[in-house]
A = this chain, B = another copy of it.
Amino acid sequence: MSASTPSSRTPVGGPHLAVIGGGQLARMMAQAAVALGVPVRLLAEGPQVSAAQVVPDTTVGDYRDLETLRTVAAGCAAVTFDHEHVPTGHLHALAAEGHPCRPGPEALVHAQDKGVMRARLDELGVPSPRHRLVENAEEAVRFAESIDGLPIVLKTTRGGYDGKGVWVVASAGDCADAFAAAGSTGVEVLAEERVDFRRELSALVARSPSGHLAAYPVVESVQRDGICWEVTAPAPDLDADLAVEAQRIAMRVAAELDVTGILAVEMFETREGRVLVNELAMRPHNTGHWSMDGAVTSQFENHLRAVLDLPLGSPACREPWTVMVNILGGEHGELSEDLYAGYPHVLARDPRLRVHLYGKEVKPGRKVGHVTAYGDDLEEVRERARHAAAWFRGDLGMESE
């Protein structure tokens, strides 16, 4: 008997795929890769991160180190990403050395830098909130005065996620505070109109290097404190023309920016019935997790197929309604520290519920899993998903049942 090491295992079959970053997105890509028979080689931040728990061929290292990236990419058919933080220069170097990066650096920069993204969308005539790059609090205030006045939104152009690096500012003092916080990160600041939106939508597409596109149904997403909280697929009561417009925008951006893999376009639906692009992400996205249980082909499988330039699978809904609710680390009681302890209640209450846990340590506010419910009756489906997520968070006491 001997413990085997990753290097002693050379799986039979298709080309290897390098995945940079070991979070839950990489974990769920790996899950999809099992079925496709595609061997994944992972570069993880640590030996116990979410994806490293389920990928034997894991290297622990720093994605900011080019030599590490080269080692992981060697012999792989393509390199793809769990996050958007790999330095653009490194991606150019890998590409120049013959390692196909998917998405490639020219595309990915639009998901890495909000200033670049806004400028490109303007060129394409894609509707965005009004915006301007600003260098100090005074410029931010002048921008506000040029539109409808304060409040406005200030964002660092790089490095923000899940609400980090974003401030809603209502006064000159707020602007100064935001710049003080942003200044420490050493990046530019984008000032944007604060959109009085009806709701947030998300349009996901998968695109292969050959140009095959698959557009998922447009979904409604609910954010809390800048973090995705709940997604309903398809977006309820969405005007059919507006749904097509949202999908057209996502397909056009994917094609114009030469995105490969999943592109998520987060949008505001305004009260006047328009859509404005808020953010771009070029990887499987939280607003697409519903597809694992609710679509014919999950966003994770279509991401893999796209980056390997295989024909894409149908993105169609399998059910009238699918609702995904994130499980965030809670602050209440024992359940919130031991997700497994939530199973007896949650699984027995709802035999049709789908649960996805990420193997992450529970910390308040951290995304540690998600639940999905589907069915014919939207209110019932929502209640099932919300209840289960609340139980895992520890927000429901035993007495509420």
Contact = CB atoms under 8 A, between A and B. Distances in A.
A359 B108 CA distance: 32
B297 A47 contact: no
Contacts of A37: 339-340, 356-359, 369
Interface in A50-73: 52-56, 58-62, 65, 67-68, 71
A30 B34 contact: yes
Contacts of A360: 12
Interface of A: 1-15, 27-28, 30-31, 34-37, 39, 44, 47-48, 52-56, 58-62, 65, 67-68, 71, 214, 296-297, 305, 310-314, 316, 318, 339-340, 343-344, 347-348, 351-361, 369
Contact of A343 (B310, B352, B361): B310
A3 to B, nearest CB: 6
A47 B4 contact: yes
Contacts of A54: 30, 34, 54-56
Given A4-B52, A9-B48, A27-B34, 4 more contacts: A1-B61, A37-B356, A37-B359, A297-B351
A310 B344 CA distance: 6
A53 B39 contact: yes
B36 A355 contact: yes
B7 A3 contact: yes
A12 B357 CA distance: 11
A53 B41 CA distance: 11
A77 to B, nearest CB: 10
A44 B11 CA distance: 14
A313 B4 contact: no
